[in-house]
Amino acid sequence: MVEAARKYKRMVQVGSQSRTVPHKIQAIQLVRDGAIGQLYLVRGICYRRRFSIGHTPDEPVPPGIDWDRFLGPAQLKPYSSNKFAYNWHWFWDTGNGDVANQGIHEMDIASWCLNRTDWPATVMSTGGKYIWKDDQETPNTLQTSLNFGEVELTFEVRNLPTPTEALAPLRPNYVGNIFLGDKGFLVVDQAGFQLYKSTAAYLSGDAGRGAGAGAREKYEQVKSVSVSAEETAPHMKNFLDAVRSRDYKSLHAEIEIGARSAAYCHLANIAYRVGRPLKLDAKTGAIIADREASALMTRKYRNPYIVPENV
């Protein structure tokens, strides 16, 4: 897609609206400016409460549905209501689970903050589908670590009841990001952000011994921003402005940015599906010495829905 956008000189904006939301722009800039010190961990969270989809039988395709086109490049399989409408997200042929559904938005914010153009050295994932006994194929809990050497990006999906963390608001559906540095941390979500400074006070007699067992850490909120709602209009305006200017670099979420964030989600799922860590080429993002995992970077396309090797 990136090659096609360049070759045909097209403006391609992806739906990462967070990159045009003022309070998230401010939060990212604070982290980059050193407000929490040296960054060591970026954590994305998708605690999105879901429920079991149950079982639905195969049945004739209902009138008005073009099942062939809906499946597109996926292999042709019998229709069932669970494989259609919203629940297509939970089948490997058509979806990627919540890490690439709701989670891609938080993964993109984490990627945005890191502002890296290389790839992680390793990707590890663990999780599973717990409690539910139904047709869903994707996991309902997933923990992923993308290690860039001096900084780590972690991402967690939970579709079952769970509390929030890092002093984030307690809500049944919480999605957001936590940035952790050696001087504090920042929590950002759709409702705003909170910046906390960290101070360590030593107990009597422990001075000079370093931050060991005798240290107490305190967190002080030094900045808080609240918003009533996020607007999509500025993101659309950014796209239209770029179309008029013909400058793809002015897009806030240009296709190369979106493709990389999406790739992080796919790598999370691939590591989960093969059940082992992945080693990546830092320049190309190719999986090293793992034929099974590399095969999952693409799919067996079905005629006529074939993506050509060359643009």
Q: Over the stretch 280-309, which tens digit does the pLDDT of each residue have?
A: 999 999 999 999 999 999 999 999 999 888
CATH 3.40.50.1820 is right for the domain spanning 2-201+216-295: no
Average pLDDT (155-169) is: 92
Q: What is the pLDDT of residues 194-244, one digit of tens each?
A: 999 988 765 555 555 555 555 678 889 999 999 988 889 999 999 999 999
Q: What is the pLDDT of residues 173-182, one digit of tens each?
A: 999 999 999 9
pLDDT value of residue 234: 94
Residue 178, both tokens: 């936590």
pLDDT value of residue 229: 85
Average pLDDT (96-106) is: 96
**pLDDT top residue among 217 and 49:** 49
pTM for the full predicted model: 0.92
